[in-house]
Structure 1
Amino acid sequence: MVALTALVPAAVGAMAIVGPVAFGLDLVWPVWGAVIPFVVWVAGAVLATWPQETIQRAWYGYRDPTAEEHRRLTEPSRHALRRLGVTAGRYRLMIAESDGPNAPAVTGRTVVITSYAAKTLPPDRMEAVLAHELSHHIGLAAVPVFSYTHLTLPIRALWWLLTRIWRPVRRMWAIARRWHTPFGFIVSFVLTVAVALIFVVLMIPAGIAVVGAALARLSTDRTEFLADAAVADLGLGPQLLAALEAAIESGHIESDRVTRLLSIQPLIVRRAQRLRKRSAP
């Protein structure tokens, strides 16, 4: 419930995008115009879940383990699945290219670990890391991750638009310079003004959305702590702590904008601190 409550800012941020669109369409097409953005939102959530493995490969660059990684992962994954009472065919293991030990928690049947973990961790620590990632998928632990993924769909869509909105302007400017005629420069100027106005209008909901998504990251941090607690209950707390401490000592510390903005310690450090306290006599 705490993790779900922390998702409220993400919901507010998403509504800052979907709400104005629904209001504008409602003025043009009463009732149905207001419904369409929410239908598209739900359809996007379904699309992101249904063929998820394909999307994860294309959008996030997740890949299958190499032959060597598969060899190193076979026994630890078998032991982790047995500890959690999960059948081997229920999940598919994929690799995220990262120098840190913490992989993103995803929804669906995919379990992700980092290339750093797959290549460097000894079997017992690998088992603990795999148990941590599997714990995100079991029971109610999957709900906050699933909710965060779908609540931030409109935010990610708007961010995608804002990063590409100036491309037509740059292309038109290149064409105008090639033509070297007044007409080309006039069209380029008009297009620049139009895109600038759209950009300014979108910046307000985008600002609200980005802040909401950033604050909601506290919810995903909470799910990491819960997964660590589940691993400790399985008797793998010392192995997971050893994996985190080794990564910290070797400088594999990932810190995102949210933690830097809030001046809090990186997630991996806070996870290690909680595990130390949990294992203290």
Structure 2
Amino acid sequence: MSLVIVVTISYALLPHSGWLIVLLWLASGTLAFHRPTESALARHLLNLRYPTPSERARLEPVWREVTARAGVEGRAYELWIEESDDLNALAAAGHIVGVTRFSLENLTSSHLGAVLAHELAHHVGGHAWSSLLGEWYALPGRLAWVGVRRLARLVIALGRRLNSCLGVALLLAAAGVVVAFALAYWFVILALVMAPYPLAAVARRAELRADQHAAALGFGPMLAEVLQTMHAEASGAGGAMTTSFAARGRTGAFGTVVRAHDGRRGLLAKLLASHPDYHTRLHHLSAYLSPGR
């Protein structure tokens, strides 16, 4: 849908060289792996900052242990801090790993390691950069959808303000345009309606894979403790360790964020959720919690 929109606008602006704009747009995704661009995105869009010397002294030894277990070069990634009182962490773009100040100050080293191992898994599995590219290339389609919705609201508002006959005529004309478009481009409508569900399913699968990757590195028990506490807090039972991977969820173009969900969601909300519920995550971790794993 985004490609159709970009091609249409490009050739409308430059009939003979619209292909150049299309190629530039397609190539723009490579900026996701450009370090200066990543830093600008982290600072200005994700509201992250570089760690202070004391924060770095706390964070880097844990990060070195995690990357050593994973067999990856820890210096290939940049550690950032979010100035937040929520307990959260994120993996963004190609090299960004961020934690909130609250996480750094309140998690034990073992639990902080479990959080960082989960985020590292998003990078190792390609979840962070693929999510970023998916969001970026979907942006024209999303903006077009927002524009259509706002135009529909404007037509409805005008129809209500005008006198009854003219208002009804305007609404019927707008409805006719919508029906004609839906019949002519039914595949576009179907894609807009159905696409979020498989994309959400892929995101949930990525979260389970990240959990399993962290558990395979030896962080399974710590990961399970945090998830169990999250479930206790969500159900109102509280817990000794007042933490969750994300007390506040965030969606956007630049990160894969571990997010808490309560068990009181409807079916559609569950199908559109980007993260599995606690029971599902704990179930998939159970194999890593048995003796000898």
CA–CA distance in structure 1, aligned partners of residues 224 and 131 of structure 2: 26
| 2:79 aligned counterpart, secondary structure | strand
Q: If the length of structure 1 is used for normalisation, what is the TM-score?
A: 0.64
CA–CA distance in structure 2, aligned partners of residues 91 and 134 of structure 1: 9
| 1:267 aligned counterpart, secondary structure | coil
CA–CA distance in structure 2, aligned partners of residues 62 and 244 of structure 1: 25
The aligned residue for residue 73 of structure 2 is 87
Q: Indicate conservation of the 8 Å contact 1:91/1:111, yes or no.
A: yes
Offset, 1:91: 1.2
Which deviations, in whole Å up to 9, do the C-alpha atoms of 1:114-153 show, x marking residues without a partner? 4443232111111122122122223xx11x4323321321
Q: Aligned letter for 1:225?
A: L
Offset, 1:274: 1.5
Select between 128-137 and 21-30 the one with higher mean Cα deviation: 21-30
The aligned residue for residue 275 of structure 1 is 285
The aligned residue for residue 184 of structure 1 is none
The aligned residue for residue 248 of structure 1 is 231
CA–CA distance in structure 2, aligned partners of residues 49 and 265 of structure 1: 24
CA–CA distance in structure 1, aligned partners of residues 200 and 86 of structure 2: 21
Offset, 1:206: 9.1
Q: Indicate conservation of the 8 Å contact 1:41/1:153, yes or no.
A: no
Offset, 1:92: 0.9
Q: Aligned letter for 1:220?
A: A
Offset, 1:54: 0.9
Kindly tell me the number of residue pairs found equivalent between the two proteins: 235
Over the residues paired in the alignment, what is the CA RMSD in angstroms? 4.3
| 2:91 aligned counterpart, secondary structure | coil
Q: Which of 31, 43, 49 lines up with 2:27 in the alignment?
A: 43
2:97 matched to 1:111? yes
The aligned residue for residue 17 of structure 1 is 2
Q: Indicate conservation of the 8 Å contact 2:91/2:120, yes or no.
A: no
Q: Which has the higher contact order (CA 8 A, sep 6+)?
A: 1
Q: Aligned letter for 1:54?
A: A
CA–CA distance in structure 2, aligned partners of residues 22 and 126 of structure 1: 46
| 1:44 aligned counterpart, secondary structure | helix
Which deviations, in whole Å up to 9, do the C-alpha atoms of 1:199-232 show, x marking residues without a partner? x89xx96994585255313222222222222222
CA–CA distance in structure 2, aligned partners of residues 30 and 243 of structure 1: 57
Q: Aligned letter for 1:272?
A: L
Q: How does 1:176-215 map to 2 (within 5 A)?
A: 208-209=191-192, 212-213=195-196, 215=198
Q: Indicate conservation of the 8 Å contact 2:77/2:97, yes or no.
A: yes
2:214 matched to 1:231? yes
2:86 matched to 1:99? yes
| 1:104 aligned counterpart, secondary structure | strand
Q: Which has the higher helix share?
A: 1
CA–CA distance in structure 2, aligned partners of residues 150 and 265 of structure 1: 16
The aligned residue for residue 203 of structure 2 is 220
CA–CA distance in structure 2, aligned partners of residues 231 and 59 of structure 1: 27
